[in-house]
Structure formats: structure tokens, C-alpha cells
């Protein structure tokens, strides 16, 4: 398990790191974010602040991402959705002047502890981007296994097995099983995006982050991705940024509404879309602004 | 707005356009002239012996430049061994790792080096390599050409790596692939054709260098047998033969020039071929 690679700075909690399937909770009814849940959350975020140079992008965000559920992040452009998502696997650190304050725990483990290598965090928290980006020099199969191969997995049997398993999970196997050796860029746009999901799944992450994964796709391809997300939440925790309100309503269990870098409201998706507590949330989800 | 004014403006426009077209076409004129002249003067002296035989002693007719042709390839090979790894890795540093301020200094240094007259490179390597070894040598010739390649390769590598979309770097990093592996096995691999193109251009550029070789490889009328001995090279041989008083040597100098030009032309054409594919691969 990848998690074992992590040097633990903090004392392991009594519950134990819940990266195995055994300790994950079922589809629990939405607990309000303040109350402590019985099972450990996938992410426990406390007082998160992110700055790019002097620009204060995320302001004091605290929320809890439930394991094996889909959490949608919505909000108008520039509200910090993507930054929030990227802070969950430390991808925002690629911006040279990025700085964060606060505390993010992945299954009780502090992912910003000084001894933790961001590379290890990213193995546990996979990511799918808005633009599909399969590597153009590689075949379909090589794209799926690249994360394993470049981390030292050599055994052909393991690679072949993981290729099929990941492509099946990404609902792509039947379409590409006869052309695994074809260049990845020969696939259609929707297939390329599912290939990117398969590539992310192949390294067996615990959480999957998705940054508007369907916004560049046609409605049919979008529907496939959405079905896939609903299917994947049986085994994975998914955090998805989306501009599409209907999409958030259709596929997510929890929804967080961000505005100008602040978390305005976070609750069960049903609650957010039917009876939001906050006026701004209501205006946004009903399309009155944003 | 009156009509005559308008016509005057249009004619000015046409004039400037014609002038720029003329200047652009003037680029082709020297190439055509050189090519035509070399074919006329050199093709006659090209024969099997030219490619297979050593130069004949002074006064005898015939012989060839086999040693110089091989020598040029040996020197270019040695130069590539020195110039390509350093240049490519330096370009990778500039594009993928470097801090802004240090990068600025390195780029400035490389650009200045690109403008250093080649004879100065020759003198420098003469002082650094030839004098301590007490001999002109293949090694010194390879070193000087290799040093000239480094800044060229470095800058083109950097430019090509900048063309690789950031999405590939992010995708690789998000898979938990370490940065150095991402750079070497994803980014460089994606840009590989472009990098090879840059390397070939640098090779073509130094293939015709003569001045630095005068101080280093020196030239040799026989086969070279060791890295520490002088070696013949096409540009050197052309130079020696062209300033000689013998008609037969003049003819051979033309033939040598034709071979050298064809060599550079072949490299440039293969670059075109590679560059076409590079664009296809770089698309997102």
C-alpha cells in the first residue's frame, strides 16, 4: 500500500488510517459539517488559507469530505474552487509563490507535515483535469500504466492486469481492448478523458479529485463520465469541481458553495439545492447570479 | 477623403510590399549562385577516387579526400559527444528547474557565446588543450566544435521544451511521479523530435567551421590513428587546397566544397522532415 511509504510525523490515531476499504463508512446520511462523524472523513480541512504571493485566494475554509461519497465544489469563476481542489493533493505548490496555512488531514494524516513528500500525497490523491491530457508519445495501454512504470513496477503480468482493471473501472475497456497499442491521441475526446481517469485509477489512489472533468465534452460523453463517477464512488472518495449546477445536483452527495475565496455553505446536495440556508447560495443555485 | 491621396497611399503600400519581397527573394540568390557554381566547378572532380583515396604527394595528379571526409565525421561525432549531453541537460535546466534570475544570466551567457567569433574558440582551445598536450589533435578539434555546439543546443532545447503543454507536466506530477522522472521521461520524451532537430542544426552549423580547426585539428595528409594526433577535415582540406598554386588541387577543393555543402543540405532537409512531425506531437 502506498500509504505505508509515508513517514509518520504524527502519532497514528486510535482509529487507524482508514485507507483500507474495511473502515470506510457506508453512504451515511448527510451529517452537518460541524458534528463529528462516526467514521474518519477522507479529508478533514481546518482553517485553510491559500495565498499566491500577496493574493489571498482561499479564506479560512473548514470542511469535511466524506469517504466513498461525491463532494461537489460549485461557485462562480475565480472563487477558489480549483485552488481548493489543488490544495488537497498539493498541486497548487507548482505555482512558485503559493503559500498555505491551516490543516488538511487525509484519513487523519496531516498531508502538510514537514516530513511528508508531496509526491507521496499525490499517489494517494489522484487527479483528473479539465482538458484530457493523455501522453501523446504513448499508447493507450502505456498511458494507463505510466504511473506504475515510472514508480518502478516492472512485472508485465501486474501491468497487464492493472491495465484491464483500470480501463474496466473507467468504462473504457470494451471500446479500446482491441487497440491497446494504438496511440492514445487516436481516441475520441470523451474516450481520452476516460483514459485519463483510468490512468489516475491505475495507481490505486484513495481519493480522486476532478477539476471540471466533463466541461470540454459533448452531452453524450458527459453522461458517460457522470455515470462513471456515480459508479466509482462505491470504492473511491470523489471531489469534483463543476460549473454545471445540474451536474452537481445529479451526481453529488454533498455540495460546497464557494464565493470570493470563502466557503459560503456546505451541506448535503439535496439541502443545498432545495432549501439552502444562505441567501447567496440560493441566488447562485437558482441561477440569479454567477 | 479625396481620390488622388488615396491612390498615392496605395502606391506607397505596393512599393513597400515589392521592396520587402525583393529583399526576401535576395536570400535565395546567393544559395542559387553558390550551388550552381559549385556544381559547375566541383562536379567534374568528383569521382570514386575522391571518396576513397588519400591525397597524392605534391606534383602528382589524382588522389582524393577520403581522410578528410572521415575526419569531418569523426570530429562531428566527438563534438556531439561533448556538446549534446551538456547542451540538452542545460536546456532542460533552463526550461524545467531554473530560478528566474540565474536563468537570465545563463541565457545571456549562452547568447554571448553564440556570438563569439569562431577563431576565438580556436585560440582558447589551442591554449587549453593543444599547448598542454604539446600536439594538435582530434581531441582538441572535437572539444572546440563541441564547445561551440553547447550554447546552440541549449537554447533550442529550452525553446522546444517550452512548447510542451503544461498539462502533461501536471498530469504526470498528479500521478505521483517524481519531478525528475516527469521531466526526463514525459516532458523530454514529448519534445524529443524537436530536441533532435536542434542538435542536427547545431551539427550542421559547426560542420563547416574552419578557423577553430586551424588551431586544433590542424589537418593531416594521412589517416589519423589516435585521438592525440592531428586529423584532416573537409573545411581544412578545402582551405589548404584552395590557396595552393596547383590546378588539380583547386579542382579538388571545389569538389570538397560541393560534398560539404551537400552534407549540410542533407542535415537541413532531415531537420525539415523531423520538424514537421514535431508540431503534430506537440498538439494538445
Q: Does A126 sit within 8 Å of B181, measured CB to CB?
A: no
Q: Would you state the pLDDT for residue A39? A: 66
Q: Does B167 sit within 8 Å of A129, measured CB to CB?
A: yes
Write the CB contacts of B135 (distance below 8 Å, at least 6 apart in sequence).
B228, B229, B230
| A20 compared with A120, residue with greater pLDDT | A120
Q: How confident is the model at residue B1 (pLDDT cuts 50, 70, 90)?
A: low
Q: Does A137 sit within 8 Å of B174, measured CB to CB?
A: no
CA distances from A247 to A42, A81, A269, B52 (A): 22, 16, 11, 74
Q: Chain B contacts of A200, Cβ < 8 Å?
A: 174-175
Question: Which of A124, A137, A147 has its CB closest to that of B189?
Answer: A137
CA distances from A38 to A17, A28, A34, A65 (A): 14, 10, 13, 13
Residue with cell 523531423: B274
Q: Would you state the pLDDT for residue B4? A: 65
Q: Does B176 sit within 8 Å of A135, measured CB to CB?
A: no
Q: Would you state the pLDDT for residue B6? A: 83
Average pLDDT over residues A90-119: 93
Q: What is the ipTM of this complex?
A: 0.82
Q: How confident is the model at residue A12 (pLDDT cuts 50, 70, 90)?
A: very low
Kindly report the average pLDDT of chain A as a whole number.
Answer: 87
Contact B192, A158 (CB under 8 A): no
Q: Is the pLDDT of residue A16 over 50?
A: no
Q: Is the pLDDT of residue A35 over 70?
A: no
Q: Chain A contacts of B165, Cβ < 8 Å?
A: 133
| B43 compared with A288, residue with greater pLDDT | B43
Q: Chain B contacts of A129, Cβ < 8 Å?
A: 167, 170-171, 174
Could you tell me which residues are beta bridge partners of residue A139? A183
Q: Chain A contacts of B193, Cβ < 8 Å?
A: none
Q: Does B189 sit within 8 Å of A151, measured CB to CB?
A: no
Q: How confident is the model at residue A29 (pLDDT cuts 50, 70, 90)?
A: very low
Q: Would you state the pLDDT for residue A38? A: 57
Q: How confident is the model at residue A3 (pLDDT cuts 50, 70, 90)?
A: very low
Max CA separation in chain B (angstroms): 80
Cα(A156)–Cα(A64) distance, integer angstroms: 39
Average pLDDT over residues A68-75: 95
Average pLDDT over residues B68-89: 96
Cα(B36)–Cα(A217) distance, integer angstroms: 56
Q: Can you tell me whether residue A96 is helix, strand or coil?
A: coil
**A129-138, A272-281, B265-274: range with lowest mean pLDDT:** B265-274
Q: Is the pLDDT of residue A10 over 60?
A: no
* Chain A: closest CA distance from residue B251 (Å): 49
Cα(B188)–Cα(B181) distance, integer angstroms: 10
Q: Chain B contacts of A124, Cβ < 8 Å?
A: 176
> Can you point out the beta strands (E) in A8-128?
43-52, 55-65, 70-74, 98-106, 109-110, 125-128
Residue with cell 579542382: B251
Q: Which DSSP symbol is given to A35?
A: S
Q: Is the pLDDT of residue A6 over 50?
A: no
Task: Tell me the percentage of chain B whose pLDDT exceeds 70.
Answer: 95
Q: Would you state the pLDDT for residue A17? A: 41
Q: How confident is the model at residue A290 (pLDDT cuts 50, 70, 90)?
A: low
Cα(B22)–Cα(A129) distance, integer angstroms: 50
CA dihedral A33, A36, A41, A47 (to 10 degrees): 60
| A36 compared with A260, residue with greater pLDDT | A260
The two beta strands, A98-106 and A254-259, are: unpaired
Q: Would you state the pLDDT for residue B272? A: 82
Q: Can you tell me whether residue B211 is helix, strand or coil?
A: helix
Question: Which of A89, A122, A135 has its CB closest to that of B190?
Answer: A135
Cα(B234)–Cα(B212) distance, integer angstroms: 13
Q: Chain A contacts of B173, Cβ < 8 Å?
A: 91, 94, 119, 122
Average pLDDT over residues A14-28: 42
Give which of A106, A122, A184 to mutate to test B binding, by max B Cβ within 10 Å: A122
Question: Which of A123, A131, A133 has its CB closest to that of B176?
Answer: A123
Write the CB contacts of A236 (distance below 8 Å, at least 6 apart in sequence).
A68, A201, A205, A206, A207, A208
Q: What is the pLDDT of residues A198-253, one digit of tens each?
A: 999 999 999 999 999 998 889 998 999 999 999 999 999 999 999 999 999 999 99
Question: Which of B168, B178, B192 has its CB closest to that of A133?
Answer: B168
Cα(A237)–Cα(A44) distance, integer angstroms: 13
**Residue of chain B nearest A198, judged by CA positions:** B175
* Residues of chain B with a CB closer than 8 angstroms to some CB in chain A: 165, 167-179, 181-182, 185-186, 189-190, 192, 281-284
| Set of cell numbers at residue B45 | 572532380
Nearest Cα to Cα of residue A213 among A253, A178, A248, A184: A248
pTM: 0.82
Q: What is the pLDDT of residues B138-170, one digit of tens each?
A: 999 999 999 999 999 999 999 999 999 999 999
**Residue of chain B nearest A196, judged by CA positions:** B171
**Residue of chain A nearest B189, judged by CA positions:** A137
Q: Chain B contacts of A122, Cβ < 8 Å?
A: 173-176
Contact B140, B214 (CB under 8 A): no
Q: Would you state the pLDDT for residue B2? A: 57
Q: Chain A contacts of B174, Cβ < 8 Å?
A: 89, 91, 122, 126-127, 129, 200
Contact A66, A54 (CB under 8 A): no
Average pLDDT over residues A66-91: 94
Q: How confident is the model at residue B60 (pLDDT cuts 50, 70, 90)?
A: confident
Kindly report the average pLDDT of chain B as a whole number.
Answer: 91
Q: What is the pLDDT of residues B173-226, one digit of tens each?
A: 999 999 999 999 999 999 998 999 999 999 999 999 999 999 999 999 999 989
Question: Which of A129, A151, A203 has its CB closest to that of B171?
Answer: A129
**Residue of chain B nearest A118, judged by CA positions:** B176
Alpha helices in chain B (DSSP H): 3-26, 28-42, 48-52, 66-92, 100-115, 118-125, 131-133, 138-162, 166-174, 179-181, 188-190, 192-207, 211-214, 234-242, 247-282
Contact B274, B259 (CB under 8 A): no
**Residue of chain B nearest A125, judged by CA positions:** B174
Give which of B164, B176, B187 to mutate to test A binding, by max A Cβ within 10 Å: B176
**Residue of chain A nearest B99, judged by CA positions:** A96
Q: Would you state the pLDDT for residue A20? A: 40
Contact B190, B171 (CB under 8 A): no
Average pLDDT over residues A157-165: 95
Query: How many CA within 13 A on the CB side of residue B10?
Result: 6
Q: Is the pLDDT of residue A162 over 70?
A: yes
The two beta strands, A43-52 and A98-106, are: antiparallel
CA dihedral B30, B36, B41, B43 (to 10 degrees): 130
Amino acid at each position: 500500500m502506498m500509504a505505508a511509504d509515508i513517514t509518520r510525523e504524527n502519532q497514528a490515531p486510535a482509529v487507524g488510517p482508514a485507507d483500507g476499504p474495511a473502515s470506510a463508512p457506508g453512504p451515511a446520511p448527510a451529517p452537518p459539517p460541524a458534528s463529528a462523524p462516526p467514521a474518519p472523513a477522507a479529508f478533514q480541512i481546518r482553517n485553510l488559507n491559500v495565498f499566491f504571493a500577496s493574493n489571498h485566494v482561499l479564506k479560512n475554509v473548514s470542511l469535511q469530505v466524506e469517504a466513498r461519497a461525491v463532494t461537489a465544489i460549485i461557485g462562480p469563476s475565480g472563487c477558489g474552487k480549483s485552488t481548493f481542489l489543488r490544495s488537497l493533493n498539493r498541486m497548487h505548490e507548482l505555482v512558485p509563490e503559493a503559500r498555505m496555512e491551516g490543516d488538511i488531514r487525509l484519513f487523519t494524516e496531516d498531508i502538510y507535515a514537514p516530513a511528508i513528500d508531496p509526491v507521496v500525497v499525490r499517489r494517494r490523491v489522484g487527479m483528473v483535469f479539465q482538458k484530457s491530457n493523455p501522453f501523446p508519445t504513448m499508447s493507450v495501454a502505456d498511458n494507463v500504466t505510466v504511473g506504475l512504470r515510472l514508480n518502478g513496477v516492472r512485472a508485465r503480468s501486474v501491468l497487464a492486469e492493472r491495465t484491464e482493471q483500470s480501463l474496466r473501472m473507467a468504462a473504457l475497456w470494451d471500446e479500446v481492448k482491441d487497440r491497446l497499442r494504438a496511440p492514445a491521441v487516436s481516441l475520441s475526446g470523451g474516450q481520452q478523458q476516460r483514459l485519463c481517469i483510468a490512468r489516475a485509477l491505475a495507481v490505486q489512489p484513495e481519493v480522486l479529485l476532478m477539476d471540471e472533468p466533463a466541461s470540454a465534452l459533448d452531452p453524450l460523453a458527459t453522461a458517460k463520465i457522470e455515470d462513471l463517477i456515480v459508479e466509482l464512488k462505491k470504492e473511491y472518495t470523489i471531489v469534483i469541481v463543476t460549473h454545471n449546477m445540474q451536474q452537481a445536483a445529479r451526481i453529488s452527495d454533498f455540495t460546497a458553495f464557494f464565493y470570493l475565496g470563502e466557503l459560503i455553505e456546505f451541506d448535503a446536495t439535496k439541502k443545498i439545492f432545495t432549501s439552502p440556508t444562505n441567501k447567496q447560495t440560493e441566488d447562485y443555485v437558482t441561477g440569479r447570479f454567477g | 477623403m479625396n481620390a488622388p491621396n488615396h491612390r498615392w497611399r496605395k502606391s506607397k503600400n505596393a512599393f513597400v510590399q515589392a521592396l520587402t519581397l525583393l529583399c526576401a527573394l535576395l536570400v535565395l540568390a546567393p544559395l542559387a549562385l553558390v550551388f550552381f557554381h559549385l556544381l559547375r566547378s566541383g562536379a567534374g572532380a568528383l569521382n570514386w577516387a575522391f571518396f576513397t583515396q588519400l591525397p597524392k604527394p605534391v606534383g602528382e595528379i589524382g588522389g582524393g579526400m577520403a581522410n578528410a571526409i572521415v575526419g569531418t565525421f569523426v570530429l562531428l561525432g566527438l563534438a556531439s559527444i561533448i556538446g549534446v549531453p551538456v547542451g540538452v541537460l542545460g536546456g532542460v535546466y533552463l526550461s524545467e528547474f531554473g530560478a528566474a534570475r540565474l536563468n537570465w544570466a545563463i541565457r545571456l551567457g549562452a547568447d554571448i557565446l553564440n556570438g563569439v567569433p569562431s577563431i576565438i574558440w580556436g585560440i582558447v582551445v589551442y591554449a587549453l588543450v593543444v599547448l598542454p598536450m604539446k600536439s594538435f589533435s582530434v581531441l582538441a578539434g572535437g572539444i572546440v566544435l563541441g564547445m561551440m555546439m553547447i550554447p546552440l543546443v541549449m537554447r533550442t532545447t529550452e525553446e522546444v521544451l517550452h512548447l510542451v503543454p503544461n498539462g502533461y507536466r501536471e498530469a504526470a506530477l498528479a500521478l505521483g511521479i517524481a519531478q525528475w522522472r516527469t521531466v526526463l521521461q514525459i516532458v523530454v520524451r514529448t519534445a524529443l523530435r524537436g530536441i533532435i532537430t536542434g542538435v542536427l542544426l547545431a551539427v550542421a552549423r559547426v560542420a563547416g567551421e574552419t578557423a577553430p580547426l586551424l588551431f586544433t585539428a590542424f589537418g593531416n595528409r594521412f589517416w589519423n590513428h589516435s585521438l592525440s594526433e592531428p586529423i584532416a577535415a573537409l573545411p581544412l582540406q578545402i582551405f589548404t587546397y584552395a590557396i595552393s598554386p596547383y590546378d588539380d588541387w583547386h579542382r579538388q577543393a571545389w569538389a570538397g566544397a560541393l560534398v560539404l555543402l551537400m552534407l549540410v543540405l542533407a542535415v537541413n532537409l532531415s531537420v525539415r522532415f523531423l520538424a514537421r512531425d514535431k508540431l503534430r506531437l506537440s498538439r494538445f
